[in-house]
A and B are shown apart, each in its own frame.
Chain A
Amino acid sequence: MNIAYSTELICFLVLSSVIVSGSLAVVLLENIVYSAFLLGGVFMAVAGLYLLLNASFVAAAQILVYVGAVNVLILFAIMLVNKKEKLKPIKGLKSRKLISGGVCGGLLILLLRVSISTKWSLPGPTSIGEEATERIGEHLFTDYLLPFELASILLLMAMIGAIVLARREVSFPIDNINDSKDQKSLIDKKIPLLSENSLK
């Protein structure tokens, strides 16, 4: 056992334990903000696994998309609506938890069976390392051209839509905040912290 191999093994064990315990905590924790932050940690650990597999481009894309965009969006949504109020007790919460736990356990057993019974070709294909970026590009523009183009059109539409939405003129009601009578109405109106346009 040489140094490189043992380092890899240690990294793998640490990362996978982070992923498993982190995702369990995401589901089981009561505090939704903790769950959201831990989700970011889990995404980062998954990126670490990709890095361990010499897929640095995929790892960076994982961080950019999942941590930088998806997770931040989730956090944004949580923090904007996070009112300190008790949720109504849901009927039959215990049985619901049991059922979902059972489904997840069943899925886990199924996947374990697949991963044990499949004859993996070991050792796997050698990684191409730094060339991976070019290879991904080649594949995207040959074998996977149609899905790639469809996805880009979808994203372009979303982007243009964002620009169009942001360009729309929005008129805010003008309030006289110096008038004490209007102070009450200002409070009643509940003007959101950020305008709709800024939530992108």
Chain B
Amino acid sequence: MNSGIDLEMSFTQGVQNLGLSHELAHLLWIPLPMLLVLVSAVIGVLVTVWLERKISAAAQQRIGPEYAGALGILQPMADGLKLLVKEDIIPAKADSILFTVGPILVLVPVILSWLIVPFGQNLLISNVGIGIFLWIALSSIQPIGLLMSGYSSNNKYSLLGGLRAAAQSISYEIPLALAVLAIVMMSNSLSTVDIVEQQNTAGFLSWNIWRQPVGFIIFWICALAECERLPFDLPEAEEELVAGYQTEYAGMKFALFYLAGYINLVLSALLVSVLYLGGWGFPISIDWFSSLIGVSIDNPLVQIIAASLGIVMTILKAYLLVFLAILLRWTTPRVRIDQLLDLGWKFLLPISLVNLLVTASLKLAFPMTFGG
């Protein structure tokens, strides 16, 4: 495989040419991708919120936001601004320290997980060796933040919501991890870059969704449950729990929960596209296409086109999944808590174990197709 565009290398070399040491250049480089990802995550959330409002309106035969910007596209900005300037209320009987730390503990792991989302060969913050495992580990911190905010609010609805959220997130993490494990077994690597590369040998035919259809469905259900989206939004079921662990929150602290929820949704969609839908890969292999029109793959123009196409493809696939999630939210009823836990423990867990076993035996039987 060619290495493609390496921005870090060109940046550090450019800075070094200005007369700075290599270490200093590296130190200057480090904050840049982080900032970029933070900005892109927030923009992704704004787009998703707008989509959610527009699609929900369409599902209910309304018009939805209309006046703020063309087609109401600035509405999420207005919402965010409103939350930013709202009064920050801490209930008198609440535990103010835990009340403040809770939302932060929910948001930070989600943002950290963006570390491993690749938009191209070298277009990710850090190709850490543990890759996808880092995301699973980080997402297991979230329930602590939920329990913390649920407990510290000193409100029975909050406590119940927090407990529900933690129970839900723990029970769906196991099938999720098992589904990821099957993918990891096929690509012989935890790194997201390797997982995508292994899928892009023959265009869309080599995507993992054809080899792991059951895993794909398990992962999608679990991702929806982890994001607390309907049909699994029990922690904040309005009719039963007011708003669950968010009940007592207002202003910026509420916005942190809101942000975490939507960033998690976009992140899950991105990871589904990375794990199952070939990530940055174009449905038709670019190597094949460039050889067809007789241009070398190392041509800078081809490289730039391929890189931008990769970003567009990743985002396009992710937003198709976000669209699906929004449509599901506005068209499905909510499950009960016992149904939710039944689904997780009695159905998804055995199925994902069987899926793992079948993948392992298929890998032994057909090492060519299932990554020997």
16 intermolecular pairs with C-beta atoms under 8 Å apart = A56-B128, A57-B129, A63-B137, A63-B141, A67-B141, A68-B170, A68-B173, A72-B147, A76-B147, A79-B151, A132-B129, A159-B349, A167-B346, A193-B160, A197-B338, A200-B171
Q: Which residue of B lies closest to A58 (CB)?
A: B130
A163 CB-CB contact with B under 8 Å = yes
Known contacts A80-B163, A163-B349, A194-B163: does B143 contact A60 (CB below 8 Å)? no
Query: CA–CA, A69 to B141, complex, Å?
Result: 9
List the A side residues contacting B123 at CB < 8 Å.
none
Contacting residues, chain B, for A178 (C-beta < 8 A): none
- With a cutoff of 8 Å between Cβ atoms, the chain B residues found around residue A44 in the complex are 141
Contact of A40 among B137, B144, B159, B163 (CB under 8 A): B144
Contact, CB under 8 Å: A69 / B170: yes
CB neighbours of B128 from chain A (8 A) = 56, 130
Chain B residues within 8 Å of A, Cβ to Cβ: 23-24, 27, 98, 128-130, 133-134, 136-138, 140-141, 143-144, 147-148, 151, 159-160, 162-163, 166-167, 170-171, 173, 190, 337-338, 341-342, 345-346, 349-350, 353
What is A's interface to B at a CB cutoff of 8 Å?
Answer: 2-4, 33, 37, 40, 44, 56-57, 60-61, 63-64, 67-69, 71-72, 75-76, 79-80, 129-133, 159, 162-163, 166-167, 193-195, 197-200
In addition to A60-B137, A199-B167, 11 A-B residue pairs with Cβ atoms within 8 Å of each other are: A3-B23, A44-B141, A57-B129, A68-B173, A69-B140, A72-B170, A75-B144, A79-B162, A130-B129, A198-B167, A200-B171
CB neighbours of A64 from chain B (8 A): 133, 136-137, 140
Smallest CB separation, B351 vs chain A (Å): 11
When distances are taken between beta carbons in the complex, the residues of chain A under 8 Å from B353 are: 159
In the docked arrangement, what's the CA distance between A63 and B105, Å?
14
Q: Which residues on A sit within 8 Å (CB–CB) of B23?
A: 2-4
* Identity of the chain B residue whose Cβ is nearest the Cβ of A34 in the assembled complex: B98
Q: Tell which of B24, B134, B166, B345 touches A72, judged by Cβ atoms closer than 8 Å.
A: B166
Complex Cα spacing A160 to B248, Å: 39
- Least Cβ–Cβ distance between B64 and chain A, in angstroms: 37
Q: Which residue on chain B has the smallest CB distance to residue A162?
A: B345
Determine the chain A residues whose CB is within 8 A of the CB of B349 once the complex forms. Answer: 159, 162-163
Q: Which residue of B lies closest to A198 (CB)?
A: B341
Bound form: Cα–Cα A102–B3 in Å? 60
